[in-house]
Amino acid sequence: MPSRRTADSTPEPMLDPRLLRSFIAIVDTHSFSLAAQRLHMTQSTISQQLARLEEAVGQTLVDRAARPIQPTVAGERLLGYARRILALQEEAASALADPAGTVSIRMGIPEDLVSRAMAEVFGSFTQRHREIHLDVTAGLSRDLTARYRAGEFDIVIAKEPVASPDCRASFPEALAWFESVDAPQAWSQPLALVAFPQGGLYREAMFERMEQEQLRSYIAFTGNSLHNVLVAVEAGLGLSLLPLSATAGYRVRRCMRLPAEPAISVAIYAWENTGPVAELMERMGEVLAARCAQHATRAGGSQ
């Protein structure tokens, strides 16, 4: 049986939730009048809605002659689906009414800065702002900065020789050369180096130091993550220039045979400086300030 059409010729939905609600009320109450009272409708409206549903599905759904009124076999078959359809409709409406996670803040952060302390900042922030979800990308600072400038991120933390004037805050990060705790006392020539891929900030500083000290060297291992680089140094594959804050828990030691390196800048950039973004930047800045201050003290005490 074809579906009824409205005046504008738009087909009426076969399983219109309004019609299903009337059908369920009739079955549950075994009465047109009680169903009308439950749904705050007139009895004639309830009857009309059931008739429209029966026309749409092409089946008689209730036995009107029975006392009390009972569903037909087709009605029994439809009843479970009808309840599930209405439940899903309510669930969808509830989900759409909840603003949790509907606003995105996109961030780019160097891998070693995604620490437990930083994660705690993210956790407390999202608890206070349920409407926000944080989309965090870890990577090399130069790539992250380029993507920020292209508008891909709302906030970026970048490691740079010198922070740009438009940064929101910057902090000095202490660097040092590291070798395996099992490294021999005498160096082999040329020196084996463990580095990040081309474009990495530490990699260029390593080559500059080798040139200044007139030391021959070669890249023995390239790792695209801080963990990979540290594991390679730990295994004795070569020396590497790394932030002091990154080496805890690895079997590496300061290589004191090379001069101390100048600190680099850890800078925060953001397109906005108000509202939740400003709040998040402030909390992130506190973590970075504490981290950099701690390891600056350690670097000074070790020289």
How many other CB atoms are there within 10 angstroms of residue 165's CB atom? 5
The amino acid at 209: R
Give the pLDDT band of residue 180 (cuts 50, 70, 90). very high
For the segment 165-190, the average pLDDT, to the nearest whole number, is 90
Cβ-Cβ contacts under 8 Å for 30 (sequence gap 6 or more) = 68, 69, 70
Who contacts 123 (Cβ-Cβ below 8 Å, separation ≥6)? none
From its phi and psi, is residue 243 left (phi > 0), alpha (psi between -120 and 50) or beta?
Answer: beta
Mean pLDDT of 148-177: 93
- Class of 103-166+265-302 per CATH? alpha beta
Confidence of residue 101 (pLDDT cuts 50, 70, 90): low
Q: What is the mean pLDDT of residues 241-269?
A: 90
On whether the pTM is more than 0.75, the answer is: no
Interatomic CA distance for residues 292 and 4, integer angstroms? 71
Q: What is the domain partition of the chain in residue ranges? A: 17-97, 103-166+265-302, 175-262
Task: Summarize the confidence of residues 86-115 as an average pLDDT.
Answer: 82
Three-state DSSP state, 152? coil
Spelled out in words, what is the top-level CATH class assigned to the domain 17-97? mainly alpha
Look at residue 297 and tell me whether its pLDDT is greater than 60: no
How many residues belong to the chain?
Answer: 303
Do 17-97 and 103-166+265-302 fold alike per CATH? no
Give the residue among 217, 214, 213, 207 at the shortest CA–CA distance from 187: 217
Segment holding 47, helix H or strand E: helix 43-57
> If you average pLDDT over every residue of the chain, what do you get?
87
User: What is the structure's pLDDT at 6?
Assistant: 45
Q: For 237, phi and psi rounded to 5 degrees? A: -75, -20
Tokens linked to 196? 């990040």
Nearest Cα residue to 159 out of 146, 148, 178, 172 = 172
% pLDDT > 90, the chain: 60
Output the CA torsion sign for 83, 84, 86, 91: positive
Question: Which residues sit opposite 71 in a β-bridge?
Answer: 62
Cα atoms in the Cβ-side hemisphere of radius 13 Å centred on 164: 12
Nearest-angstrom CA–CA distance, 151 and 254: 39
Question: pLDDT digit string (tens) for 67-82?
Answer: 899 999 999 999 999 9
3-state helix/strand/coil string of 204-230? HHHHHHHHHCCCCEEEEEECCCHHHHH
Sequence-ordered list of residues with C-beta below 8 angstroms from that of 58, at least 6 positions apart, any chain? 1
Q: In the numeric block, which tokens belong to residue 297?
A: 């003290």
pLDDT band of 291, cuts 50, 70, 90: confident
What does the pLDDT look like over 26-42, one tens digit per residue?
A: 999 999 999 999 999 99
CATH class of segment(s) 175-262: alpha beta
Q: Quick check: helix, strand or coil at residue 109?
A: strand
